[in-house]
Amino acid sequence: MFYRKLIILLITILAALNSFSQDCNFTLNGHVFDETSKLPLSFVNVFIQETASGTTTDEDGNFAFDNICFGEYHLSFSHIGCDAQKIHLDITKDTLIKIGLLHTPTSLGTVVIEGKTNELINQANLSISRQTIEDKLNENLSALLENETGVHLIKNGNGISKPSVHGLYGNRLIILNNGIIQSGQQWGNDHSPEIDPFSADKIVVLKGASAIEYGNGNLGAVILVSPKRIEREPHLHGQINYAFESNGIGNSLNARIGKYSSKLAWRLNGTVKKSGDKKTSHYFLNNTGITETNLSIQLEKSWNDNLYFDFYGSTFNTTLGILRGSHIGNLTDLEQALSKEIPFFTEENFSYQIEAPRQNVSHHLFKTKGKYFINENQNVELVLAGQINNRKEFDVRRSGRTDIPSLSLIQYTGNIELKYSNDFSNQWKLTLGNQNIITDNSNNPETGILPLIPDYLSWKNGFFGTLSKSINKSHFNFGLRYDFEFQNVATISNSTPREIVRFENKFHNLSGLFNYKYDLPNKQSVSFNTGYATRNPGINELYSNGLHQGVSGIEEGDHKLNTEKALKNTLEYEWFPSTRFSLSALAYHQNFKDYIFLEPQDEIRLTIRGAFPVFKYVQTDAQIYGLDLSSQFSLGNSFLSMLKYSYLRGVESKDGAPLIFMPPNSFFGSLTYRVKNPINFSTKLILEDTELEITNKFVFEQKNLLPDQDFVDPPSSYNLIGLKLSSNIIFSGYKMRSFIKIDNLLNLKYRDYLNRQRYFADDTGFNLAVGFNFKF
Amino acid sequence: MNKKNLLLALMFITAILFTACKKDDPVIPDEPELITTLNYSLTPIDGGSAVILSFQDLDGDGGNAPTINGGTLEANTSYTGILELLNEAATPVENITEEVEEEAEDHQFFFQSDLSNLSFIYNDTDANNNPIGITTTLTTGDTAAGNITIILRHEPNKIAAGVSDGDISNAGGETDIEVTFPINVL
């Protein structure tokens, strides 16, 4: 179980001396080390909340408090480049504790194994911690991942964004919300994942093919968004987060409250957000406001350490405005919009008003999980989950029809999953599982428009097994998966009279992986991963038919598409010689057979609304390859620097022609200065863990593109500078984390290749954000 | 709870899934917004029979190609032009021109031709005294062959420079209609 062996928190109470003595005569000694390298960590700030006393660890990572009274205490640990940790402790005797802190920024490639129950993530991945989530309250899920190597954002304006990992997105990228595959209209490039990152404690990106447990389609990556188990804390605890941002005059508020009890542990989490029109370097982006209301509940219950049960329910509701000037009619309109320096409909004034074009999306999830420990080494897990996704998109329409959605979809999804795992004594580990997912997708005929995506019913049934073994310095990992998918589709013809045309499909998918990691001397390691997977074409790729207003083109699926096949190889090198330096390099190559993509056709289709470009889903053999580099190093005891570089290229195999919509290369660097000692303004007001960070992001121009592959040339390279000042304010024993952050410090005018709004307007300008986090 | 029970439950649920694997028939939406037909009838002011330019695309976007009928006009002649928009896919046929009239402030037709001496004058105005273009006067010049393009813009900026004179450059908005007819001026 998680809490027996929490990855970030290793507490071992060793000594039991002086169990009977005076009340305030106990000592508390401790040792703090880096979880990744196991080396001692010096200069860690240790703070006891109840006594408001603090100290720092010495060269050997040790610290000591004397004259501690009998009682309950909350201790916090913080260090440059680490996620701050808090623990609860009963002092009844002299106590020695050991704490492992995880270096968060360069956890690319870290092996994260949670508990004995094999939530095995044994390969190229990186993770976003709770503190990073808290410091980005004003952002959405995708934006949290923005500066990670190999991760890029596909945007439609500032409010709508989805992640792309190693150039793959949409149907090829799986997002798991608390262990359940996020189901919705993931095919659309203008559809954000409907998840509140604030309900999560950790976001992990699995870049390799190792994510075999999580379903087919995983030719790309898997993003895990997970809340952690409720802390074993008998008191009522919670936190309140608030953030303000100047660009869009946005306010975000999040509150979380929870309590552990052996009867039932619970946690509630709620978030509300509202922001108005964003601004570029010199004009407003009208109708780009956002509102969001989210709530989640988490319940946990254990019986005699053998049976564990949890329930998770969440609701996510958002209204997203889309730049009015990006809503256009035919090809002539597009050409005219492209030639405008400032988009049509740009107004002088800021507004919170969200009018058409806009999206109203709600997503509800419930999940229950039961886990039974047969014995020390074996357990079975049963998961039942349901999701409802309701998406309505509104366009500017004639005769008062603006209030009627032009796209109205409702999707119900049910999951049943069974998993068995066994840790054999001789370092063999086995996991077997079965997943069933049934999806029912319907168009609401209220739109008065022929649907772009047809109604369908699909059923997926997948079986998987993984096996891992460590022999001395070698770690092996095998995985195999088979998926059956059944689709029953009811399309409406676009000839007259309209009639229903039915399709029925059965697909078989197979995927397999092999991973080998070898530990070299001096904390170096090399790992090789090879994975083969097939993905059957999605409903949109098979049956899209009609005008996609969002992209002002006619999109046509092809019901004869073949299953896509891919072979991905990755080679990774890691070096963690000390807590002061780390380096990691990941090279990957993915070879596709029958890669499916939406290709602009030479054909222009004439309609009464004028000419429209035609896009068709076609297949080709393709290759995507790249390199991710990241390094972190300390300069003295006060400075920490981080460097990241991503290179990516996608080409068609037959003639080397570029693939469209591939992320440009990028470089990210940051330098953090940490004030070593607390700043004392008075005995009552202390600033602790004060850090100043400067970030620099350079995105290269996407040169790997032919002129006739897009309406306009890709935008030029740009360089964004950011600043962040953060500190823990301790006032009369209460601690509050606060930050001031500036994005696009120089108010640079720029456009980004992966942001579709670039056809019409600049990207966002200067933004100042202020945030507070109060834990109780 | 034991493994057997779990397995039984799973089998039971799978059985339910199997029984319901045909998607219900979708409801075919009414398409009240569809414009299938544009007729531009040109009647000589001095009398004579009308010339009708027509564009018809009964199955909407995609599907079959539209039918376009151009026409022959007399040189140096003025015509009264009247536009008619229809949805012929609906029964009874819907008159979309009325919808445009009701929202006249948010709509404007634009008339363009590659024949330099062919001119258009707006004959109607909305509540703000800006042109709509449902009725126009067309005057031909000397003998030539070319095209007439008719554009309907939704939510144009009617007060932008040149827009009320029929210049589309600063109009903005989105195009609801854009059709081109071949014409002969004899």
pLDDT band at A119; cut points 50, 70, 90? very low
Q: What is the structure's pLDDT at A103?
A: 57
Looking at CA atoms only, how far is residue A489 from chain B in angstroms? Answer: 7
Q: Could you tell me the two tokens for B112?
A: 């363009």
Looking at CA atoms only, how far is residue A419 from chain B in angstroms? Answer: 11
pLDDT at residue A19 greater than cutoff 70: no
Q: What is the structure's pLDDT at A147?
A: 77
Bridge partners (DSSP) of residue A93 are: none
Q: What is the structure's pLDDT at A126?
A: 60
Which ranges constitute the DSSP H helices of A412-531?
none
Q: What is the structure's pLDDT at A18?
A: 36
pLDDT band at A99; cut points 50, 70, 90? confident
Can you give the pTM of this predicted structure? 0.83
Which of the pair, A96 or A463, is modelled with greater confidence? A463
Looking at the complex, does the CB of residue A503 fall below 8 Å from at least one CB of chain B? no
Strand pairing class (A278-279; A250-259) = unpaired
Asked if A152 and A754 touch (Cβ cutoff 8 Å), the reply is yes
In 10 A of CB A585, how many CB atoms? 18
Check residue A401 and report its DSSP letter. Answer: G
Distance, CA of A272 to CA of A277 (rounded, Å): 17
Q: CB distance B99–A459 less than 8 Å?
A: no
What are chain B's domains?
A: 32-185 (2.60.40)
| Mean pLDDT (whole number) for A129-142 | 79
pLDDT band at A298; cut points 50, 70, 90? very high
What are chain A's domains?
A: 1-103 (2.60.40.1120), 222-229+238-324+357-775 (2.40.170.20)
Q: What is the pLDDT of residues B126-161, one digit of tens each?
A: 999 999 999 999 999 999 999 999 999 988 999 999
pLDDT at residue A209 greater than cutoff 60: no
pLDDT band at A1; cut points 50, 70, 90? very low
Q: What is the pLDDT of residues A385-420, one digit of tens each?
A: 999 999 999 988 877 788 899 899 999 999 999 999
Q: What is the structure's pLDDT at A81?
A: 64
Distance, CA of B45 to CA of B139 (rounded, Å): 10
Pick from A59, A104, A72, A62: nearest CA to A85: A104
Q: CB distance A396–B154 less than 8 Å?
A: yes
Q: Could you tell me the two tokens for A652?
A: 């068609």
| Mean pLDDT (whole number) for A371-375 | 88
pLDDT at residue A56 greater than cutoff 90: no
Q: What is the structure's pLDDT at A450?
A: 86
- Write out residues 45-74 of B within 8 Å (CB-CB) of A: 55, 57-66
- Write out residues 302-341 of A within 8 Å (CB-CB) of B: 307, 325, 327-330, 332-333
Q: What is the structure's pLDDT at A15?
A: 31
Cβ contacts of A651 within 8 Å, gap of 6 or more:
A622, A623, A657, A658, A659, A704
Q: CB distance A490–B102 less than 8 Å?
A: no
Q: What is the structure's pLDDT at A83?
A: 66
CA atoms within 13 A on the CB side of B173: 26
pLDDT at residue A710 greater than cutoff 50: yes
| Mean pLDDT (whole number) for A9-21 | 35
Say which amino acid occupies A720.
Answer: L
pLDDT band at A112; cut points 50, 70, 90? very low
| Mean pLDDT (whole number) for B57-76 | 85
Distance, CA of A369 to CA of A371 (rounded, Å): 7
Q: What is the structure's pLDDT at B20?
A: 61
Q: What is the structure's pLDDT at A16?
A: 33
pLDDT at residue A696 greater than cutoff 70: yes
Mutation to test the B interface, candidates A379, A440, A539, A607, most B Cβ within 10 Å: A607
Say which amino acid occupies A698.
Answer: F
Residue carrying structure tokens 């090198």 = A573
The conformational region for residue A594 under phi > 0 = left, psi -120 to 50 = alpha, else beta, is left
Q: Which of A678-687, B18-27, B94-103 has the lowest mean pLDDT?
A: B18-27
Which of the pair, A715 or A344, is modelled with greater confidence? A715
How much is the mean pLDDT over chain A? 84
Q: What is the structure's pLDDT at A496?
A: 74
Q: What is the structure's pLDDT at A120?
A: 30
Looking at CA atoms only, how far is residue A446 from chain B in angstroms? Answer: 7
Residue carrying structure tokens 């306009």 = A712
Using a CB-CB distance cutoff of 8 angstroms, which residues of chain A are in contact with residue B36? Answer: 608
| Mean pLDDT (whole number) for A584-613 | 86
Q: What is the structure's pLDDT at A189?
A: 80
Q: Which of A530-534, A742-746, B4-8 has the lowest mean pLDDT?
A: B4-8
Q: CB distance B61–A612 less than 8 Å?
A: yes
pLDDT band at A344; cut points 50, 70, 90? confident
pLDDT band at A117; cut points 50, 70, 90? very low
Q: Which of A143-147, A413-417, A664-668, A755-759 has the lowest mean pLDDT?
A: A143-147
| Mean pLDDT (whole number) for A468-472 | 83
pLDDT band at A682; cut points 50, 70, 90? confident
Looking at the complex, does the CB of residue A399 fall below 8 Å from at least one CB of chain B? yes
| Mean pLDDT (whole number) for A88-109 | 65
Phi, psi (deg, nearest 5) at residue A276: -110, -150
| Mean pLDDT (whole number) for A15-22 | 37
| Mean pLDDT (whole number) for A368-383 | 90
Strand pairing class (A553-556; A610-635) = parallel
| Mean pLDDT (whole number) for A596-600 | 88
Q: Which of A241-245, A429-433, A561-565, A667-671 has the lowest mean pLDDT?
A: A429-433
pLDDT band at A122; cut points 50, 70, 90? very low
- SS3 for A640? strand
Cβ contacts of A341 within 8 Å, gap of 6 or more:
none
| Mean pLDDT (whole number) for A686-700 | 92
Count Cβ neighbours within 10 Å for each residue of B47-58 and write b for 16 or more, e otherwise: eeeebebbbebb
Looking at the complex, does the CB of residue B31 fall below 8 Å from at least one CB of chain A? yes
Q: What is the pLDDT of residues A178-208, one digit of tens each?
A: 888 888 888 888 888 999 988 888 888 876 5
Looking at the complex, does the CB of residue B182 fall below 8 Å from at least one CB of chain A? no
Q: CB distance A344–B151 less than 8 Å?
A: no
Distance, CA of A81 to CA of A697 (rounded, Å): 19
| Mean pLDDT (whole number) for A275-298 | 94
- Write out residues 680-699 of A within 8 Å (CB-CB) of B: none
pLDDT at residue A550 greater than cutoff 80: no
Q: What is the structure's pLDDT at B6?
A: 66
- Write out residues 424-453 of A within 8 Å (CB-CB) of B: 434, 436, 438, 440, 442-443, 445-451
Which ranges constitute the DSSP H helices of chain B?
3-19, 96-102
Residue carrying structure tokens 């009279």 = A497
Q: CB distance A457–B22 less than 8 Å?
A: yes
Say which amino acid occupies A724.
Answer: K
pLDDT at residue A168 greater than cutoff 70: yes
Q: CB distance A328–B174 less than 8 Å?
A: yes
Count Cβ neighbours within 10 Å for each residue of A692-718 and write b for 16 or more, e otherwise: ebebebebbebebbeeeeeeeebbebb
Q: CB distance A494–B36 less than 8 Å?
A: no
The sign of the CA dihedral A710, A712, A718, A724 is negative
Looking at the complex, does the CB of residue A609 fall below 8 Å from at least one CB of chain B? yes
Q: What is the structure's pLDDT at A619?
A: 95
Q: What is the pLDDT of residues A57-94, one digit of tens each?
A: 888 888 988 888 888 888 888 877 666 777 777 787 78
pLDDT band at A438; cut points 50, 70, 90? very high
How much is the mean pLDDT over chain B? 87
Q: What is the structure's pLDDT at A4?
A: 39
